[in-house]
Amino acid sequence: MSLDAYMTEVNSNVALFNQHVKITVEGLTARGHTTDDIMIGLFKGYMAASDREFVRYIKDYKNKYDDDEDITWEQLMTKALNKYTVLKQ
């Protein structure tokens, strides 16, 4: 299942989404595999969320990433979860 489809399946719950991604990456790593397109998948997944303000926030990070700003997938996931948490309060 693609990450954007998974975001829809978990009703835009970024915490559950991030947990799924971490488990998937850990599973790949345990089997000696890597993924080169994790950032692409994360951005697609986050932009499938239903909260417009959250999506706008992610789009800003996507633009920075596209302009070669150095951000890891772990950092992106942390920033996304923090924003999601603030918006849900």
Q: Average of pLDDT values for 82-89?
A: 95
CB 65 within 8 A of CB 43: yes
Q: How confident is the model over 40-55, as a mean pLDDT?
A: 97
Instruction: Report pLDDT digits (tens) over 16-42.
Output: 999 999 999 999 888 988 787 899 999
How confident is the model at residue 57, as a pLDDT? 98
